[in-house]
Structure 1
């Protein structure tokens, strides 16, 4: 025990007054301030990944005030996931990695962890067998915890916006190191700083990702907008020269030349209009301003109309469009939005399945309507299946296939606004099948 000795001589020479002061509280306070100061410097690095911050906290703890430290994050399903484990003795790291995983907070028999989820910290100055039984399930886990040799333990929840997001476990194996209320206050302050640092780091990285997405999108958008503008400009310049030449020569310009040039120009204008419409849709969706005008629609008839409209384009690409829609499938939907969804699916099928058949099927499934679009094209890798429905995401290189990466994102948003679902099954080289399901609303069900 650190002490301060002071000797004072009294008036009588044979007498001496000795003062003894326990310096442990002062030393603990100094250590706490130093530890929090070091932690603040570590946590100030917002460019670090959130989990890297938690790993750093665990190692800082064992360098200053713990024999070992665990950091767990709380997942949406109520289960803990361990992200860091640090031990003061390197040869004990392997044993610590096997430390018991904590039970989920949804476990009704786990009163300790339910309390931790409510934000209630626990400190055990003397870590007794009954305390170990609360933290471990079964003889094997209890044995592992006993091998770690903790004599004093603190369990401190990390909370963000009023709810638990993780748990810090500090353990001391030293005989002379018993945690108390002052240690608990310090670690609770540390937990608050850790949560703030992790939130800041997460926001920083989300901001960086947003900037990266924006830059990628601007690059793709500028390329896509230039693609129809270039032939439009060239065709109009050529038409201008022909008109000027005809004016100088006094000969009339043949009507077929006018018609051909205008057809090309109108096609490019339509492409530009579609691109701008997609951008406006994304803006409406982001602002929550996408409105649906519901009316009774026959999905089978709408699909037949669109297949007929796409047949000439499919023929140019060497595709045969097949439709199986033997009976009307009625529902209350926004006709223009459903048409937009089916158009997006057909456009993708023809783009990525050029030269091979594309099959469209429409059928009723009780209170829901189902439409599938199946191609036999290049397919999609499994790891890309989920992200293709996100903004600006594409499963292929934009060098080979054009587009903004917005079509499937807009499709999913429209379908979900109807209360429906859209999904895909695919394998590389084996084609893709997109399945659209919509609730039929109050329309009559045949």
Structure 2
């Protein structure tokens, strides 16, 4: 007998060892055959390895113990997938002359193949004794084949559990990488940006020439733009990888003023004085005012950039009866083949001229809508233009 060292075979032994039903299966085999040694063996082209044993015979083989493959009958079973059962080797027409009973001093023997459900051969379920067996060979063969099928099904279950554990481990690793990615964006990129901003503020008092002041203004503009890009990518990472954009719900009495201020800021930033604002919010609204302001800023900026500049952009907001509706309309038209992907991140039309931003604005707006339990949709046509509509039901303060 040899000592097991192969890691793959050690894994096979451990796999059988995790099956709680195996001891009872070996007891059942011992009961129906009268054998004092029963085992489940892993049989390969080169090895015979005990994975589980029940030994009152004193055979001396424990899990992990090995026999020389050529001294067993199991290699023949592996090649033929045929069970071998006999109650008395000494009078058997074939096995009275076989080397295995002679080598191990066996009289009764029963061994059946174990296959996984996909047909792959694993090994054998076997029973041996040095005394003749008092059993019906056909009955024992059928009973042990059913038990071997049960072992094969348990092995399939173990494989699935291992796959699930691996998937869970991979998911945890992905979650850790996600957190690291967000940390890099949130800290490692923003920290040097803050340093640039502080340095620019310090130099502002020392700027004496118009050129120096102009350069500092460019630096401040670049810092603000970079900060906006980092915020967009952070929101993308949270929405795409972290289970949604986080919001902080509260009862807001100032939402109308917040949204009106956003509309005014977009008008100033884009030079559009024709943004028509029609807004009526009755009472308080449970929401994240900052995130809804971000949603509106993204929609208005998109409408200004992509709409027909000779025609106004219209904003309509109404909140009453536990619902909030927000419409942004421009005179532009979205091609029909783009409507299905308009809410995807980095969505830009082929051949479109370069524009500021990463193409994340509409995606982030839709994620903010989802985080509020609402929906953002769009309709577009040549005759009616494009309307983005955000609808949000009432919510309880978290």
Would you say same fold, with TM above 0.5?
A: no
TM-score by length of 2: 0.44
TM-score by length of 1: 0.40
When Rg is computed on C-alpha atoms for both structures, the one with the higher figure is: 2
